[in-house]
Structure 1
Amino acid sequence: MTDLREKLTDWDPKATTYKPVIYLFAVAAATAVALSIGFLGTITWQTVGWFISVSMILLGMQKLRDIESFTTMFLNYDVVARKWVPYAYIYPWVETGAGILMTGMLLKWLSAPAALIVSTIGAWSVFKAVYLDRRELKCACVGGGSNVPLGFVSLTENLAMMGMSIVMLLQIVV
């Protein structure tokens, strides 16, 4: 079937693509808008928070779908996982769990620091691998086996998670 698809179209299973990330973020955005209009009657700053938290859930689920493949890719660039392999197995659970708690605005004292820790490590890991070491790697952000390049999208994902974590931590203090 794959051979036929390649012959009849220009489809290349090894080609770099951003489609999985685009689709995932589109679903997260639509969900955030639906939550905002359904619960708040309008689009507010909470919509952005829901977009980030729902994205975290969806991205985490993609990683958990095939955790072995994810960890293999993740070990190529994550600075903590390269030193302590169990972190690669913990990361998707933290991302998914923090996203669920953040969507419900529950246990901020737990979800915000957890997300801040993994996203800060993730942002540094991506920045180091792509921009300092100049390595061309595939991103494990949508799970293993994807052809999404590691770089701007991965860094932005981690920075958004960091930002949301900081905002939630500030809500606890204020």
Structure 2
Amino acid sequence: TRLKTIPQIELVEPDITTQRLKITHTSALTLETLQQALADFPKYSIQTLVNEANKPHFLTTYKPVLLIFTLLVLCCCIDVWNLVKQQATTAFTINHVMRVFMGGFFISFSFFKLLDVRGFASRFKTYDALAMYIPVWALCYPFIECALGLLYLSAFNTMALHVFTALIMLSGLIGVILAMRLSQPIQCACLGAGFNLPVGNVTLVENGLMLLMSLLMMI
């Protein structure tokens, strides 16, 4: 009934089986107009129907992130191999491998963010728990991330570094979890503003893994 109050709509035909509506209208309608008409009825929602045949494949969507992770794993393997060849068994520890991985991770991802700091910040503020309330944090984040990468690669192994890393990763993880609960997709800022990556399971794993590693480094 509420949809029929929109002037452009001529006919509304509900289909109980598929839980969809067929709307006949005389002129163009926007999704926002339909959503506003149902604003007083939170039980119902109208969303854009995505054609699964045209939906990008998972590997295509997250290709840049997966490539970076693959290269980082290869770098860690090469580093371990070199230590084994040099018989530097005392230098080879799990913490050493995590430190190399985290250092490479932060530097790699900060590079893309630094290409367009303001573009990154505008995306980051839409879901990061801290950046939502402190906008300047979003502008500083790429530089902080780069600094963290350099510190980890330089073996700056202090409790303060690991605690700080854990806190910012926790903030990001909370934001990702909340964003994933929304019906509308949010663009991920992990690779800055140059890639159209939705906030999803990959983003969740990315933040969760860094949080876990920073916690393990405290032990």
* TM-score range for the pair, normalised by the shorter chain length: 0.7 to 0.9
**Residue 25 of structure 1 pairs with residue 69 of structure 2:** yes
User: Which residue is 2:165 aligned to?
Assistant: 115
Q: 1:38 aligns with which of 82, 88, 92?
A: 82
**Mapped partners of 1:135, 1:87: distance in 2:** 24
User: Which residue is 2:189 aligned to?
Assistant: 140
Larger Rg: 2
Higher relative contact order (CA 8 A, sep 6+): 1
Compute the RMSD of aligned alpha carbons. Answer: 2.2
Q: 1:62 aligns with which of 112, 132, 138?
A: 112
**Mapped partners of 2:128, 2:164: distance in 1:** 17
TM-score normalised over the length of structure 2: 0.63
Higher strand share: 2
User: Which residue is 2:135 aligned to?
Assistant: 85
Instruction: Please identify, of 53-62 and 118-127, the stretch whose mean Cα deviation from structure 2 is larger.
Output: 53-62
Which residues of 2 match residues 119-130 of structure 1 at below 5 A?
Answer: 119-130=169-180
TM-score normalised over the length of structure 1: 0.78
Deviations along 1:46-65, one digit per CA (max 9) or x if unpaired, are: 43442233112211221112
How far the C-alpha of 1:107 sits from its partner, in A, is 4.0
**Residue 154 of structure 1 pairs with residue 203 of structure 2:** yes
How far the C-alpha of 1:162 sits from its partner, in A, is 0.9
**Mapped partners of 1:116, 1:28: distance in 2:** 20
5+ residue gaps, structure 1:
1-11
Deviations along 1:62-93, one digit per CA (max 9) or x if unpaired, are: 11121111111111111221111001012222
Identity within the alignment, %: 28
**Mapped partners of 1:93, 1:40: distance in 2:** 34
Higher helix share: 1
User: Which residue is 1:5 aligned to?
Assistant: none
5+ residue gaps, structure 2:
1-55
Aligned residues: 155
**Mapped partners of 1:134, 1:117: distance in 2:** 27
How far the C-alpha of 1:122 sits from its partner, in A, is 0.2
SS at match of 1:83: coil
